[in-house]
Amino acid sequence: MQFSFRMPVAVHILLCVASFQDELKVTSNFLAGSVNVHPVIIRKTMGQLKAAGLVDVAAGVGGARLSRSPEEITLLDVFHAVEEEEDLFHFHENPNPACPVGRNIHALLDNRLQTIRGHMMKDLEAITLQSLLDDLKAKTT
């Protein structure tokens, strides 16, 4: 299973915004330097985070701020903002019905993958941006 880079980038962005929003203007160029990606990727991700109600972005070089407190933002919120949940376990649509494995693969895995997805969503919901900020602070002091 492979996830996209969108969620780690989005979490990085939110951690930077939370860490620096009171000290400087958190712009896409500033964030691109921290994440080490092109500012276009930052702007696209910021648009998704804004649409999800996680950040406010001032036009031009006004910078970004969190829309909610870090205690209220979970990794599940971030996941829903930037990932396509239906692609979490994208299943090939047409396994060979003449093969005993192909004929039964959906019956074997569909419910199990849904259970795994449910556990993952619950785990993501339990982690807040504040807990990550606390861990970050412990690592930088």
pLDDT digits (tens, 9 = 90+) for 32-70: 999 999 999 999 999 999 999 999 998 766 789 999 999
Query: CA 42 → CA 23, 28, 47, 66, 116, distances in Å?
Result: 20, 6, 8, 15, 30
Query: What is the model's pLDDT at position 141?
Result: 80
Instruction: Give yes or no for residue 30 having a pLDDT over 80.
Output: yes
Closest to 34 measured CA to CA, from 54, 20, 55, 13? 13
- Mean pLDDT of the region 77-84: 92
Residue 100 is part of which domain span? Answer: 6-140
- Whether residue 85 lies inside any domain: the answer is yes
Helix (H, G, I), strand (E, B) or coil at 74: strand
Q: Which of 90-94, 96-100, 113-117, 127-131 has the lowest mean pLDDT?
A: 90-94
Return the bridge partners of 64, or none.
57
- Whether residue 37 lies inside any domain: the answer is yes
Whole-model pTM: value is 0.87
| CATH assignment of the domain containing 93 | 1.10.10.10
Q: Domain total for the chain?
A: 1
Token pair in block for residue 85: 């949940």
